[in-house]
Amino acid sequence: MKAVLNLPEDADCSEISAKATDYSTAKVAYYKAAREAMPSLIGIAKSENTNTRYGEDLIELFRGFGDEEDAEATVLLISRLRGCENSDKSTQLRKAIEEAQQVAEEFLKAFVRLEGS
């Protein structure tokens, strides 16, 4: 996310595309791993196992910590890719970013539902 937010204004389409690929791939992998860890995270959320700050940090993250920066990075990448309209790749990358955002939203919805049960 930081690499995207620090993307230079004069970055060319290849650099923007590379960051978009890295960002969407990392985001999907992150939330896939989080989904696999869901049972442990729910236990931590219900204070069954809060003996480490690491668990508390995870719960804080999934409850929305960093949402604004993530949204800003997503909008920035999609906007910058529109400037690279000369290729089908930019359209595919925008779609990958949007799909990664959807994966994150689905995870967060599932986490909140399970946390409440």
pTM of this structure: 0.75
Radius of gyration of the CA atoms of the chain, in A = 16
Residue 114's closest CA among 61, 57, 106, 27? 106
* Mean pLDDT of all residues in 80-88: 80
Q: What are the C-alpha distances in Å from 64 to residues 16, 68, 71, 94?
A: 26, 8, 11, 23
State pLDDT tens for residues 12-25.
988 999 999 999 99
* Mean pLDDT of all residues in 89-105: 89
* Mean pLDDT of all residues in 38-62: 63
Segments making up each domain of the chain, as ranges: 13-116
